[in-house]
Amino acid sequence: MSIADSYTDDTKARRNVWILVLAQAILGAQMPMIFTIGGLAGQSLASNACFATLPISLIVAGSMLSATPISAIMQKWGRRAGFFVGAAGGTLGGIVGAYGLYTASFPIFLLGSLLTGVYMSAHGFYRFAAADTASDEFRPKAISYVMAGGLAAAIIGPQIVKLTSQAFVIPFLGTYLAVIAVNVLGSFLFLLLDIPKPQPPAADSPKGRSRMELLKTPRIAVAVICAMVSYALMNLVMTSTPLAVVGCGFDEGNAADVVTFHVLAMYIPSFFTGHLIARFGVEKIVATGLIILAGAGAVALQGVELENFFVALVLLGVGWNFGFIGATTMLAGAHEPHERGRMQGLNDLLVFGGVTMASLASGGLMNCSGGSAIEGWNAVNMAMAPFLMLAGGALIWLMLRPKDA
């Protein structure tokens, strides 16, 4: 019996959702902050422009490496413990990153980015925590509402960047000091969570499927592929966006505004994504997300006027929302409660592994493909095509399978 089976009116689930929404809004603000300035700060410190987005890549790599340990911590000691570990990682990452900027040391700055990935990993489990005490009917809405908390983060984060990026003689130092404050203050929210710790397995309790058996389950495999592609392509394009905006003659304020609109588009649909999944089915919503992601690439390839950046990044955010929330919902209903820690950690390991590769590729494509920012930006967006075909093909294959297979 799952935790959610103990609650019929979703009272506890709704309370937890509100707390997680606030955590998403406050602690989550550090992600658009860092993604807005990470590449620009890296470009100012790196000896080779091709390494400009390496700080962001290492954030994602840190998230990938810590996904399984944090999932294991949550499985043994509960969600609250894992979220505190994440906030501690974000705080330490902010401290080390600020010190790297202060000393103009690119390696130290990269270490801070790697530590920040611990927060990013824990942040990814907010959506699963929302489902823990939710009924089957409320689960997609709970996941969607928590993701909607990013709407506030989309506004708060870039505005903090505008206020802090040039607050000190050393560019971006103020932003990293603000990241420290965000983690320390936001972590107090986790004291209010009421999610029971998982019961230790009894000697005769089911062991569940192995990781390989889970991945061989068609619905799980397709959910992981669609989550990987949705998140990786969003990261591929978003990581290069500030570099492209500035490289095409606009300023850092314009880049922050584009990122703001992008993150708003990532989370505004969350107010109704769960309802759309409940009405039309999760497969159709994921498919819609993949189509919108393709539309984002098409718009970006039409030109480098500021409006092209805005429209492309808005479509990128909406496509990510439908694809990623849909894939998360698909995964949440495809494994048993006693497989939760194993499957969720494996999922995020694979998803953020893909995102790490996309982030690494982003800097190389943007700065080392052709001789201009325009050529680099076009290369980034054209790279989306094969992965969208992979995810789309996998989803079509799943939808065409016999229902009793």
Q: Looking at residues 12-39, what average pLDDT do you find?
A: 88
Please check the confidence at residue 3 and state whether its pLDDT lies above 50: no
* Angstrom distances, CA of residue 168 to CA of 37, 164, 260: 15, 8, 23
Model confidence pLDDT, tens digit, residues 349-358: 888 788 888 8
Instruction: Read off the pTM.
Output: 0.74
User: Angle 30-45/218-247 helices, nearest 10 degrees?
Assistant: 50
Domain 9-189+210-400 top-level CATH class:
mainly alpha
* Angstrom distances, CA of residue 378 to CA of 20, 237, 306, 396: 37, 10, 15, 28
Neighbours of 157 (CB within 10 A): 28
Per-residue model confidence (pLDDT) at position 6: 45
b/e per residue 170-193 (b: at least 16 CB within 10 A): bbbbbbbbbbbebbeebbebbeeb
Per-residue model confidence (pLDDT) at position 7: 46
Written as six digits, the tokens of 359 are: 């982030």
Please check the confidence at residue 84 and state whether its pLDDT lies above 70: yes
Write down the mean pLDDT value for the chain. 86
- Burial status of residue 137 (CB atoms within 10 A of its CB: 0-12, 13-18, 19 or more): exposed
Please check the confidence at residue 2 and state whether its pLDDT lies above 50: no
Residues 6+ apart with CB under 8 A from 18: none
What residue spans define the domains of the chain? 9-189+210-400
Model confidence pLDDT, tens digit, residues 44-71: 888 877 787 788 889 988 988 888 899 8
Q: Looking at residues 317-339, what average pLDDT do you find?
A: 84
Q: In this structure, are residues 190 and 83 in contact, taking their beta carbons and an 8 Å threshold?
A: yes
Report the C-alpha gap between 25 and 19 in whole angstroms.
10
Model confidence pLDDT, tens digit, residues 238-277: 888 988 998 888 887 788 889 889 988 987 887 888 889 8
